[in-house]
Amino acid sequence: MKIGIVGGSIAGCSAAILLGRLGAEVSVLERASHMLLGKGAGIVLPENLIQQCIHLDLFDNNIPPLPISTRTLTVKDEKFDHSGKQIWQQPIDVVALNWSDVYFNLYKRIPNNSYCYKEEIISASETNNICHVETSQGKKYTFDLLIAADGIDSIVRKKILPQYSSDYTGYVAWRGVTNMPELGQYKIPEGFMPCYVYKNGHLLIYPIPASDYQTSGTKLLNWLIYEEFDSNALEKLLVDNNGIKHSASLPPRSLTAEHLKHLKQFSDRVLPRNIAEIIHKTEKPFLQIILDGQVPHYAKSRICFVGDAATILRPHSGSGVLKSINDSINLSKILECSEESDLVTALQAWDVSQKTIAHQQVSLAKTLGNALVTNTPPWEKMDFEIVDEWWKSIMTGREWYATRQQLK
Ligand SMILES: Cc1cc2nc3c(=O)[nH]c(=O)nc-3n(C[C@H](O)[C@H](O)[C@H](O)COP(=O)(O)OP(=O)(O)OC[C@H]3O[C@@H](n4cnc5c(N)ncnc54)[C@H](O)[C@@H]3O)c2cc1C
C-alpha cells in the first residue's frame, strides 16, 4: 500500500515509522527546507507514554527526561516577597522534555528516502479510491491512503473539510526559553513546576533538558504566560517585525519592538518582580494564539487526520504531543488488523473511536483553560484549603494523567 503523509513533525514522523513497519510504502511530504529542530520548546508528557515509545522503538531509551512531581501556585504580593506568596502545592506526575529531542528521536527512525523536504502541498483530493496531492512546484503524487499531519493550519483539512473552522479561545500565550542563569537569585527546586496566577491568566515555568544535556547536564528554562486578547486585536497582534501577517503564531525572532514592550509591561503588571525579570531577560520570546478545534471526521474515505491537523488542544493539559503520537499508534493498530480491501471500513471504525478520545481531550483542555484563564477565582483571597476545594470542584469526574494518582 502507498501511503502519503503531509507534514513531517511529531504526528507525521510517528505515523511514518509505525506504518512503514507494517510494510507500507510511506512518503512524508514536508514543506520545510530542513530539519525542524528548534521549532518547539518544552513539552510535558506522561512517563508511561515515554516508556511505551521506548518499547515501540519510537524513542531511544536514553532520551533525556526531567521528572516533575510538584506544581505550586503563587500570587503576586509585594508586601510578602519579590518572588510572590505561595498559596498551593499539588503533587503531579509529568515528565518535561525538549521538543527537539522528541522530534529528532522520531525523525532519525524514518528511512532518508521516505522523507521529502520542500514539498509544500497545495491541494488534496480523492477520486475512485486514489488520493491525489499537488505541490506548490506543480509535482503530483497519488496514494492509496493520505494522512494529513500538517498541523494547525492544515491545507488538506481545508480542501477536504472546508466547512471546519477552529475557535479562538479569547487568549494567547507568550512563550520563551532561556538559560537557567537568567533566574538570578530565584531558584526552582528540583522537580517543581511553579505557576504564577493572576486574574485571567498565569505564568507556567519548568526546566527542560538543553540539546547537550546528556554530556553537560545543562537545563533550560521554558515558560509560557497567558493573556486575554479581544479577537479584533489579533489582526494587528499577528503581524511580525517584517510586516508579514501570520495565522496562529509568531515564531522566535519575529516579535516587533511593540510586542516586546507590551510583554514587558504586562509581565511587570501581573507577576512578582523576580519572576517578571525572567521574561525581560529572555532573548527570543514568541507568541501562540490559543485555539480549540476538533474535525468532524477523522477519516473521510481514504484521507485521515492526525495530530494538530485533527484536534487542537489548549496547552493546559500538556497533551498536544501525547495526542499526536497516540493518534499514530491508534491508526497503526487499526491498519495492522485489517486487509487492504477493508481499508475504508477500518478507517470508519478508527474515526468513531478517535472522535470519542478527542472529545474528552478537548473537554479537559477547555475545563483547565476556563479555570486557569477565562474564569479565574479570586487568588489573593485563597489559601491552601480553599484552592484544594476549588481544584476538586473542577476536576471531580475528570481524568488527567498528571494528577491521576490523586483522583482515584
Ligand atoms: C513551543 C511549543 C510548546 C509546546 N508544548 C507542548 C507541551 O508541553 N505538551 C504537549 O503535549 N504539546 C505541546 N505543544 C504542542 C505540540 O507540539 C503540538 O500539538 C504537536 O507538535 C503537533 O504535532 P503535529 O505533527 O500534529 O503538528 P506540527 O508540529 O504543527 O507539524 C505540522 C507539520 O506540517 C508541515 N506542513 C504544514 N503545512 C504543510 C503543507 N501544506 N505541505 C507540507 N507540509 C506542511 C509543517 O511544516 C510542520 O512540520 C507545544 C507546541 C509548541 C509550538
Ligand 1, from 30, 92, 147, 154: best to mutate by most atoms within 8 Å of Cβ?
Answer: 30
My answer on whether 211 and 277 are in the same domain is yes
Ligand 1 centroid to 153 CA: how many Å? 10
- Residue bearing the CA closest to ligand 1, atom 51: 40
Structurally, the chain folds into a number of domains equal to: 2
- Residue bearing the CA closest to ligand 1, atom 41: 121
In terms of residues, how long is the chain? 408
Q: Tell me, yes or no, whether 52 lies in a domain.
A: no
My answer on whether 106 and 223 are in the same domain is no
My answer on whether 386 and 280 are in the same domain is yes
Ligand 1 centroid to 38 CA: how many Å? 12
Residue 23 pLDDT class (50, 70, 90 cuts): very high
Question: pLDDT tens, 248-275?
Answer: 899 999 999 999 999 999 999 999 998 9
Q: Tell me, yes or no, whether 57 lies in a domain.
A: no
pLDDT at residue 349 tops 80: yes
Ligand 1 centroid to 162 CA: how many Å? 21
Ligand 1 centroid to 99 CA: how many Å? 10
Q: Tell me, yes or no, whether 59 lies in a domain.
A: no
CB 143 within 8 A of CB 2: yes
My answer on whether 218 and 77 are in the same domain is yes
Q: What is residue 12's predicted lDDT score, i.e. its pLDDT?
A: 98
Q: Tell me, yes or no, whether 58 lies in a domain.
A: no
pLDDT at residue 405 tops 60: no
My answer on whether 157 and 173 are in the same domain is no
Q: Tell me, yes or no, whether 306 lies in a domain.
A: yes
Q: What is the CATH number of the domain that holds 196?
A: 3.30.9.60
Q: What is the CATH number of the domain that holds 12?
A: 3.50.50.60
Ligand 1 centroid to 67 CA: how many Å? 23
- Residue bearing the CA closest to ligand 1, atom 5: 43
* Ligand 1 atom index nearest CA of 32: 47
Ligand 1 centroid to 399 CA: how many Å? 24
My answer on whether 113 and 80 are in the same domain is no
My answer on whether 182 and 254 are in the same domain is yes
Q: Tell me, yes or no, whether 53 lies in a domain.
A: no
My answer on whether 383 and 235 are in the same domain is yes
Q: What is residue 39's predicted lDDT score, i.e. its pLDDT?
A: 66
Calculate helix-pair angle for 320-336, 10-21, nearest 10 degrees.
20
pLDDT at residue 328 tops 80: yes
**pLDDT-wise least confident of 39-48, 95-104, 206-215:** 39-48
SS3 305: strand
My answer on whether 38 and 78 are in the same domain is no
My answer on whether 267 and 210 are in the same domain is yes
C-alpha cell of residue 230:
479581544
Residue 408 pLDDT class (50, 70, 90 cuts): very low
Ligand 1, from 10, 193, 317, 354: best to mutate by most atoms within 8 Å of Cβ?
Answer: 10
Q: What is residue 36's predicted lDDT score, i.e. its pLDDT?
A: 85
Q: What is residue 187's predicted lDDT score, i.e. its pLDDT?
A: 83
Question: pLDDT tens, 1-15?
Answer: 999 999 999 999 999
My answer on whether 187 and 241 are in the same domain is yes
Q: Tell me, yes or no, whether 263 lies in a domain.
A: yes
Residue 40 pLDDT class (50, 70, 90 cuts): low
Question: pLDDT tens, 191-208?
Answer: 999 999 999 999 999 999
My answer on whether 253 and 220 are in the same domain is yes
Ligand 1 centroid to 151 CA: how many Å? 5
Residue 407 pLDDT class (50, 70, 90 cuts): very low
**101: nearest Cα among 7, 222, 192:** 222
Q: What is the pTM of this model?
A: 0.94
DSSP string for residues in 82-147: TT-EEEEEEEEEEEEEEHHHHHHHHHTTS-GGGEESS--EEEEEEETTEEEEEETTS-EEEESEEE
SS3 75: strand
Ligand 1 centroid to 288 CA: how many Å? 12
Question: pLDDT tens, 277-311?
Answer: 999 999 999 999 999 999 999 999 999 999 999 99
Q: Please give all residues whose beta carbon lies within 6 A of any atom in ligand 1, as ranges.
A: 6-12, 29-32, 36, 40-44, 99, 119-121, 149-152, 155, 175, 307-309, 315, 318-322, 324
Question: pLDDT tens, 69-88?
Answer: 999 999 998 777 788 999 99
Q: Tell me, yes or no, whether 61 lies in a domain.
A: no
Task: Please enumerate in sequence order all residues whose Cβ is within 8 A of that of 49, keeping only pairs 6 or more positions apart, or say none.
Answer: 322, 325, 326
* Domain of residue 180, residue span: 66-98+168-290+376-407
- Residue bearing the CA closest to ligand 1, atom 7: 43
pLDDT at residue 124 tops 60: yes
CB 229 within 8 A of CB 171: yes
Ligand 1, from 34, 141, 324: best to mutate by most atoms within 8 Å of Cβ?
Answer: 324
